[in-house]
Amino acid sequence: MLLENKNAVIYGGGGAIGGAVARVFAGEGARVFLAGRRQPALQRVADEIAHAGGTAETALIDALDERGVDEYVAGVAGRAGSIDISFNAISHGDVHGMPLLEMPYEEFERPVSRAIRANFLTTRAAARQMAKSQSGVIMGITATTARHAIPEVGGTGVAFDAIESLFRQWAAELGPLGIRVVWLHTTGIPEAFHGPGGQQPAYGTGRPMSGEEFVRWLKSKTMLGRLTTLADVGQTAAFLASDRAGAMTATGVNLSGGSVPTR
């Protein structure tokens, strides 16, 4: 198994992306610690992992709470003996479908500040523990909006671009300590959208779209005619967190189906 005897903390562990990653990590032998703000969602993922024979613990943690994150991570490391993987998959409170000309600054700035604060705090807390063993992997997730100039996505692209820049700096500083810092770069993930069907933001197309139209539009932007799936995310994250990817740091794995060429 790729992650046998590894301890993995997953923020947003009750969400679609965090849950998918947690299930695969556990299936690959990791002991997972699910952190988030909604206990029912966290417990549902933990129960599924336990039913499949894995090990998972849950904790109510706000990734924006500096003291809370530091105390939680120190506690996990104390009980488990180490933290080998830290994965941040929290949501950022993005607002889509509104031109910047009409957007209140607070709505533009919110995903940027949340993304940077949460990823900085969770990375620092994990790195302080990983430095003791001179090993570990810190992970995050971004999307095509970090590279594309797409109208009406508010602060999302800026937030994702900032995460990648932040992680490159962390990688430069943590590399000498044996800690890798990497991320997944995805398309939109239909399985993670909230609610079936309905109207989706216009994204600069000039009109709202149904859920089905929105997915077709996203697929048309890729070379493979397909979008990133939760299975793609979980399986690639497990590889990236494993020793098989031991030479990789300060970089993202491109899961965009060619929507964003590697640079």
* Average pLDDT over every residue of 141-169: 90
* pTM confidence score: 0.93
Q: Quick check: 53 pLDDT over 90?
A: yes
Digit-coded pLDDT (tens) for 87-138 = 999 999 888 888 999 999 999 999 999 999 999 999 999 999 999 999 999 9
Residue 32: φ, ψ to 5°: -105, 140
d(CA 35, CA 168): 24
- State percent of the chain over pLDDT 90: 76
Q: Quick check: 197 pLDDT over 50?
A: no
Question: Which CATH architecture best describes the domain 7-255?
Answer: 3-Layer(aba) Sandwich (3.40)
d(CA 231, CA 249): 22
